[in-house]
C-alpha cells in the first residue's frame, strides 16, 4: 500500500503532459526486434517499438529478459503504442478482426497470462539524470531496467495513471533495456477501459502499452507540471468573433526539482510566444527538494494582456494558441526545458431556469451539437486518420466530441485545439469505474488500492488535459455519479491541477453533495424511434442537455457492407430482420436490428433485395438524424425548457459496425452523415414534424436579413399541391431562429393520390442566391408513439407513417459533367455539375454522387461540400469533392451517380 501511495505522490509531482509529437508510430509486424532508440544528451525520446511474447512461451527470468543482448528470435514485433492483438494482427498471426466473424477465430486463452514488452535504448554517457516517463499501461505491469525491477504491477496499475521512474543509477553508456511484464486486462476488475455494448470486444481486452514510453535525460534541476492559468475579463456585452476581449491575466506555474545529491541554484526563464513576455527567477534548492515556482501578474505586470488573441470553437472565431517555453539553467548550462501550448478562453456552464447546463465560450452561449467519439478497437493511433475524422465531424456541423473513457493520446487534443472542435472527456460507465455505485453494471467494488489508482488517474488526466482550450468540461461520472469519497478525491485532484472548466458529476440526471446537479440527462433513446419523436419535450426529445442519444442502428453504404460482411451475412441482413447481427452489439438488447427493420418495412415497404434494403435504410437514417439535430436547434431559443445540448450516440465506431455511427469505419458517408450535415448548416431552413412550422436557423455570428423562404409540397405523381413564398425574413446570429410560415395539413384522397408527399424548402439571400435547400418525404399518417410504455432505450410505436408511396416515383433522368484539378501538396478537387434533365415533374430523390477509382471502389476519405441532394426537372447543383490524390487507385477517378429513383451511371471527369 505504501508503494501505491508513493506512486500517487510521484504522479502529483509529475510533468503536466507527455509531448504530443514524439516519434511517429512504427508499424508492428514480424522480423527482428526494433532498433534501439537513441536518446541524445539533454533529450527525450519515445521507445521506437517492442519485441513482445507471451510469458507462457518465455521460461527465462525477468532479470534475463531485461538484460541487454537477450535474444528475441521468434518474438513478435510491436510499434511504440500497441496492444498485444494489434501486433499479432499486423504480423499475420491472427486474422483481420474487422471482417465477418473472423474475430471469433482468435483464441482468448492466449491473453490470459502476462506478455513481455521489451525494448532497447542507447545513451552516449551517464552524465545526466535519466528517467522513464509513461502512462497507458493496460492493465498493469512490472517494470525492469537492465536486469533490475524498478516498479511492480501494484504501483503501475490503471491505463491513465502516470509514472516517472528515476533510473539514473541503473543505466549505462551504450545499450540499455527496459522490459514491461504486462498483466491481462479485465475492465470489470481494473480501472482501464472496456467496450460494453459499443462493439464486440477484442479477445485480448486491449492489454498492452497504448501510449508512448519516454526516456528523458536532464541535468540536476528539472522542470515539471508546467502550465499557464488564464483568467479572462470580458467586456459587456460579450464580444463577437471580431471584437477582442478587454484583458486577460496569465499565471505561469511549474515545479522545480533538484534531483542531485547537492544543493543547486537554477535560473528559470519563461517566455510566452506572441506577447514579448520574458521572465526570470533564481531558485536555490536543497538536495532532492521540490518547489513550486509561480510567475503571477501581481509581481509581473507584463502577464496582464490587453486585447489577447482568444481561442474560439470552429465557426465562432479563430483558434489562436500561445506557447510557453520554460528553461532551467545551472551554472550557465541548460539543465532542462519544456514547451507548453495553451489557449486563452473562458468556458462557463451554469444551470438555466429549467436545470439544464447552458454552455458559453468567451461569453457567447452555444448549443452543443455533438457526438460520441470512439477509439480504434485495437487502440491503434493514427494521426492522419484521427484528423480525417475530426474534419468530418466539423464538416457535419458538429461542434463537440464526447469521449466516454477511451481518452485518446495528446495528439487528439492537439488536433481538436487546432481545428476548433470542443471535447467532453470523462470516465466510463458500467465497468470497474462505476463498480461502487452502479448496481446494474459489471464492475467490481473498489478496494483501497483502487481508490488510489482512481485519484492518480484523475490527477494525471487533469494535468494532461487542463491547458487544451478544446476541453469543455470533465465528466467524473457517466451513467452514475461517483460516491461521496470518490467525488471528493476527484475534485481535490482537479483543484490541485488548476482545472479551468466546469466539472460535471455525471452524464445522467443526478445530483451530488459537492458538485450539485449535473444539468445533463440521458433518457435515451438508443434504438429506433420515428423522426417526430425528437420534437416532444419528454423522454429524449429536444429539451435540456441530452448527453447520449440516437435512433440506434446505422446501416453503412453498400460499398462498406461488402467490405465487412460475408455473402451469407449480407443475405441475412435483409432477409432475416430478427436475426442476431454480430456487427451490431454483444448486448442482448441491441444484438438484432429488429426494431429498425420492422419500422423500415412498415414505413417504406418490405425490402426486395439487398440494394433496396440499403437504399431504404439510407432514407430512414437521413430523415431521423436530420430531425434529431433540427429539433434541438429549433428548441434552443425557447423561453421554456430550451434545448442546450445533444450528443448523438455515436459519431464513429471503433470497428466495422451496424450500430451507433454517423460515419463508418472506412470514413464512407451515408444517409446518417448527410442528414446531420444538412441539419447543421450554418444558415438553414427546416420543417418541424410536430406543428408543421418552417423555421430558419442562423448559426453564424452575425444576423442576416433580406432572406426569402419558399415551400412547395408535391404528391408522388410530381404535381405541386401547395406553393408559398415569404420574403423579407431576418434572423439573428449565434443560433437564433425565425419562423417563416406554417405548412397546411394535406389529406390522402383529397389533396394527394396516396399518403406520401414531398416538401421542398429553399432559402435565398438578398441577391437571389440559394443558401439552403431541404427536402422532406412525409406522410399524412403520423407515427404514433406509446410514451407510457417507454423504457431506458426506446419508446414503442403503435402505428407507423406510410412512406411506401415513394416506390411509385417515376425514374428520374440525371446527367452530370465533372472536372478534376490537381493541387500542390497532393490534394485534388473534383467538381461535379448534376442536372435533372427529365421532362416531367418527377424529382431525383436523394441523388448520391460518389468518387470512385478505376475498380469502382470508393475513394476515401473524401469531403463533399454537399451530397445526397434532391433535384426537380430543370434544376441543377454544383458539388465539390476534396481528397488526397494518392487515395485514388487503379487509374483516374470516376464519378458514380445513383439515387432513390435514379439509375446508377458513371462519368469520367475531365482534367483541368
Q: Please give the positions annotated as active site.
A: 479, 548
Which residue, among 62, 54, 98, has the nearest Cα to 78 in the 3D structure?
A: 54
Q: Centre a 10 Å sphere on the Cβ of residue 332 and count the other Cβ atoms it contains.
A: 6
Q: Are 758 and 706 in contact (CB under 8 A)?
A: no
CA 321/CA 312 separation, integer angstroms:
10
Which residue, among 191, 117, 205, 197, has the nearest Cα to 407 in the 3D structure?
A: 191
SS3 104: helix
Task: Calculate helix-pair angle for 671-679, 610-634, nearest 10 degrees.
Answer: 20
Task: Calculate helix-pair angle for 594-604, 610-634, nearest 10 degrees.
Answer: 100
Strands 643-648 and 368-372: parallel
- Alpha-carbon dihedral 100, 102, 108, 111, rounded to 10 degrees: -110
Q: 877 forms bridges with which residues in the sheet?
A: 834
CA 852/CA 579 separation, integer angstroms:
32
The rounded radius of gyration (Å) of the Cα atoms in the chain is: 29
3-state helix, strand, coil split of the chain in percent (to 5) is 20, 35, 45
Count how many residues are written for the chain. Answer: 912
Strands 50-54 and 115-123: antiparallel
Q: Are 824 and 859 in contact (CB under 8 A)?
A: no
Which residue, among 734, 630, 640, has the nearest Cα to 356 in the 3D structure?
A: 640
Q: Are 805 and 830 in contact (CB under 8 A)?
A: no
Q: Are 303 and 252 in contact (CB under 8 A)?
A: yes
Distances (CA, A) of 853 to 522, 625, 716, 892: 42, 29, 35, 7
> What residues contact residue 567 under an 8 Å CB cut-off, 6+ apart?
none
Distances (CA, A) of 330 to 263, 265, 287: 11, 6, 14
> What residues contact residue 795 under an 8 Å CB cut-off, 6+ apart?
525, 529, 533, 539, 785, 786, 787, 789
CA 524/CA 503 separation, integer angstroms:
22
| Secondary structure (H, E, C), 616-668 | HHHHHHHHHHHHHHHHHHHHHHCCCCCEEEEEECCCCCCCCCCECCCCCCCCC
> What residues contact residue 169 under an 8 Å CB cut-off, 6+ apart?
none
Q: Residue 535, preceding bond cis, omega within 30 degrees? A: no
CA 337/CA 221 separation, integer angstroms:
10
Provide the 8-state DSSP code for 50.
Answer: E
Which run of H or of E encompasses 706? strand 704-715
Distances (CA, A) of 217 to 40, 290, 753: 8, 18, 79
CA 371/CA 661 separation, integer angstroms:
9
Which residue, among 886, 885, 868, has the nearest Cα to 877 in the 3D structure?
A: 868
Residue appearing with cell numbers 429549433: 634
CA 55/CA 75 separation, integer angstroms:
11
* Phi, psi for 31 (deg, rounded to 5): 120, -175
Residue appearing with cell numbers 474534419: 391
Amino acid at each position: 500500500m505504501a508503494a501505491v501511495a508513493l506512486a500517487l505522490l510521484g504522479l502529483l509531482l509529475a510533468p503536466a503532459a507527455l509531448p504530443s509529437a514524439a516519434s511517429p508510430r512504427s508499424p508492428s509486424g514480424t522480423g527482428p526486434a526494433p532498433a534501439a532508440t537513441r536518446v541524445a544528451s539533454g533529450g527525450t525520446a519515445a521507445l521506437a517499438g517492442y519485441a513482445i511474447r507471451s510469458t507462457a512461451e518465455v521460461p527465462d527470468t525477468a532479470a534475463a529478459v531485461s538484460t541487454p543482448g537477450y535474444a528475441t528470435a521468434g518474438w513478435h514485433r510491436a510499434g511504440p503504442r500497441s496492444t498485444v492483438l494489434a501486433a499479432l494482427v499486423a504480423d499475420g498471426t491472427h486474422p483481420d478482426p474487422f471482417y465477418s466473424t473472423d474475430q471469433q477465430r482468435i483464441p482468448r486463452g492466449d491473453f490470459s497470462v502476462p506478455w513481455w514488452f521489451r525494448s532497447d535504448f542507447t545513451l552516449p554517457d551517464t552524465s545526466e539524470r535519466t528517467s522513464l516517463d509513461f502512462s497507458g499501461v493496460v492493465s498493469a505491469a512490472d517494470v525492469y531496467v537492465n536486469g533490475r525491477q524498478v516498479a511492480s504491477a501494484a504501483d503501475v496499475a490503471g491505463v491513465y495513471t502516470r509514472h516517472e521512474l528515476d533510473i539514473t543509477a541503473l543505466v549505462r553508456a551504450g545499450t540499455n533495456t527496459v522490459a514491461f511484464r504486462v498483466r491481462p486486462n479485465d475492465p470489470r476488475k481494473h480501472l482501464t477501459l472496456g467496450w460494453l455494448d459499443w462493439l464486440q470486444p477484442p479477445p485480448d481486452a486491449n492489454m498492452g502499452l497504448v501510449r508512448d514510453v519516454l526516456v528523458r535525460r536532464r541535468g540536476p534541476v528539472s522542470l515539471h507540471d508546467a502550465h499557464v492559468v488564464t483568467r479572462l475579463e470580458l467586456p459587456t456585452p460579450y464580444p463577437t468573433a471580431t471584437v477582442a476581449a478587454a484583458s486577460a491575466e496569465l499565471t505561469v506555474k511549474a515545479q522545480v526539482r533538484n534531483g542531485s545529491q547537492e544543493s543547486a541554484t537554477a535560473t528559470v526563464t519563461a517566455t510566452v510566444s506572441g506577447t514579448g513576455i520574458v521572465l526570470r527567477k533564481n531558485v536555490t534548492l536543497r538536495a532532492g527538494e521540490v518547489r513550486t515556482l509561480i510567475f503571477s501578474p501581481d509581481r509581473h505586470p507584463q502577464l496582464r494582456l490587453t486585447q489577447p488573441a482568444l481561442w474560439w470553437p470552429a465557426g465562432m472565431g479563430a483558434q489562436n494558441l500561445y506557447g510557453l517555453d520554460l528553461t532551467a539553467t545551472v551554472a550557465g548550462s541548460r539543465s532542462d526545458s519544456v514547451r507548453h501550448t495553451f489557449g486563452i478562453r473562458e468556458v462557463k456552464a451554469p444551470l438555466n431556469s429549467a436545470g439544464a447546463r447552458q454552455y458559453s465560450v468567451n461569453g457567447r452561449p452555444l448549443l452543443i451539437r455533438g457526438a460520441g467519439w470512439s477509439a480504434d478497437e485495437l487502440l491503434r493511433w493514427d494521426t492522419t486518420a484521427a484528423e480525417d475524422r475530426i474534419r468530418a465531424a466539423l464538416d457535419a456541423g458538429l461542434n463537440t466530441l464526447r469521449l466516454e473513457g477511451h481518452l485518446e493520446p495528446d495528439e487528439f487534443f492537439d488536433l481538436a485545439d487546432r481545428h476548433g472542435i470542443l471535447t467532453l472527456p470523462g470516465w466510463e460507465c458500467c465497468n470497474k469505474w462505476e463498480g461502487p455505485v452502479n448496481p446494474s453494471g459489471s464492475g467490481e467494488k473498489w478496494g483501497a488500492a483502487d481508490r488510489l489508482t482512481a485519484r492518480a488517474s484523475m490527477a494525471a488526466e487533469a494535468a494532461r488535459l487542463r491547458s487544451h482550450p478544446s476541453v469543455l468540461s470533465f465528466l467524473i461520472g457517466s451513467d452514475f455519479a461517483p460516491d461521496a469519497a470518490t467525488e471528493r478525491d476527484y475534485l481535490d485532484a482537479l483543484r490541485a491541477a488548476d482545472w479551468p472548466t466546469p466539472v460535471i458529476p455525471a452524464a445522467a440526471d443526478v445530483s451530488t453533495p459537492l458538485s450539485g446537479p449535473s444539468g445533463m440527462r440521458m433518457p435515451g433513446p438508443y434504438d429506433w424511434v420515428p423522426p417526430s419523436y425528437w420534437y416532444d419535450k419528454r423522454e429524449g426529445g429536444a429539451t435540456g442537455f441530452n448527453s447520449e442519444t440516437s435512433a440506434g442502428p446505422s446501416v453503412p453504404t453498400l460499398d462498406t457492407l461488402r467490405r465487412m460482411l460475408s455473402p451469407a451475412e449480407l443475405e441475412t441482413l435483409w432477409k432475416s430482420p430478427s436475426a442476431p447481427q454480430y456487427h451490431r452489439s454483444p448486448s442482448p438488447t441491441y444484438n438484432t436490428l429488429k426494431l429498425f427493420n420492422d419500422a423500415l418495412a412498415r414505413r417504406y415497404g418490405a425490402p426486395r433485395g439487398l440494394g433496396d434494403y440499403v437504399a431504404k435504410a439510407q432514407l430512414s437514417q437521413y430523415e431521423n438524424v436530420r430531425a434529431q439535430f433540427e429539433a434541438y436547434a429549433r428548441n434552443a431559443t425557447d423561453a421554456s425548457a430550451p434545448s442546450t445540448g445533444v450528443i448523438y450516440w455515436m459519431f464513429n465506431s471503433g470497428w466495422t459496425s451496424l450500430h451507433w455511427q454517423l460515419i463508418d469505419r472506412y470514413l464512407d458517408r451515408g444517409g446518417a452523415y448527410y442528414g446531420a450535415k444538412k441539419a447543421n448548416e450554418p444558415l438553414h431552413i427546416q420543417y418541424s414534424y410536430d406543428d408543421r412550422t418552417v423555421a430558419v436557423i442562423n448559426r453564424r455570428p452575425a444576423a442576416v436579413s433580406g432572406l426569402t423562404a419558399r415551400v412547395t409540397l408535391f404528391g408522388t405523381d410530381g404535381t405541386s399541391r401547395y406553393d408559398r413564398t415569404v420574403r423579407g425574413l431576418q434572423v439573428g446570429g449565434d443560433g437564433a431562429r425565425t419562423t417563416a410560415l406554417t405548412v397546411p395539413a394535406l389529406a390522402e384522397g383529397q389533396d394527394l393520390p396516396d399518403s406520401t408527399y414531398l416538401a421542398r424548402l429553399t432559402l435565398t439571400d438578398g441577391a437571389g442566391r440559394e443558401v439552403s435547400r431541404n427536402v422532406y418525404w412525409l406522410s399524412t399518417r403520423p407515427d404514433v408513439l406509446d410514451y407510457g410504455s417507454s423504457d431506458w432505450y426506446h419508446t414503442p410505436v403503435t402505428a407507423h407513417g406510410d412512406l411506401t408511396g415513394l416506390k411509385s416515383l417515376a425514374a428520374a433522368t440525371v446527367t452530370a459533367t465533372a472536372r478534376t484539378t490537381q493541387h500542390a501538396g497532393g490534394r485534388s478537387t473534383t467538381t461535379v455539375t448534376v442536372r435533372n434533365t427529365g421532362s416531367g415533374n418527377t424529382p431525383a430523390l436523394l441523388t448520391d454522387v460518389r468518387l470512385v477509382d478505376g475498380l469502382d471502389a470508393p475513394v476515401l476519405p473524401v469531403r463533399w461540400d454537399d451530397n445526397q441532394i434532391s433535384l426537380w426537372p430543370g434544376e441543377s447543383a454544383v458539388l465539390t469533392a476534396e481528397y488526397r490524390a494518392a487515395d485514388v487507385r487503379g487509374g483516374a477517378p470516376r464519378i458514380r451517380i445513383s439515387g432513390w429513383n435514379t439509375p446508377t451511371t458513371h462519368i469520367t471527369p475531365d482534367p483541368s
